[in-house]
Amino acid sequence: MQRRSPHRDASARAEAAPGPLRAGHRDDLRARVSSPPALDLCGVKCPLSWAKARVRLEGLPRGAQLDLVLDDPQGARDIPRAAEAAGHHVVEVAHETDVWRIRIEV
C-alpha cells in the first residue's frame, strides 16, 4: 500500500476549490468585481463602434459603467461626444499604446 503525502492532498484540494477560496486568486476576483465590464471594439470603425456601444449601454442599469476598448482614432474622438449627447457620463478616456479605453457611466 502506498502512502500519500499530506502536502500533495492539500494542493489537490486547493486546485479543486472554487473561485475565491483558491489561494492566490482573491486579488483576481477583486479586480473582476471592481472593474466594469469591457466591450472590445478593436477593428470596428466608427459609427458602427458607437452603435455597438449604445446597444450594450442600453442593457445596463443606471449607475453601471462600461469600458470600451477601441483602436479607431475617429471613434476615440466621436464616442465620448455621442455618449454625452445620449445622456451618459464619460468617466475617463485613456490612450494606451495603440488603443483607447473609454469608461462610460449609464
Polymer length in residues for the chain:
106
Q: Which CATH class is domain 36-105?
A: alpha beta
Residue 12 backbone phi and psi in degrees, to 5 = -65, -40
The answer, yes or no, to whether the previous bond of 47 is cis (omega within 30 of 0) is yes
**CA–CA gap between residue 40 and residue 106 (Å, rounded):** 18
* Residues with Cβ within 8 Å of residue 63, at least 6 apart in sequence: 105, 106
Query: 66 has which bridge partners?
Result: 104
CATH 3.30.110.40 positions along the chain are 36-105
Q: Could you report the average pLDDT of every consecutive run of 10 residues in the chain (106 residues)?
A: 52 45 47 75 94 95 96 95 97 94 96
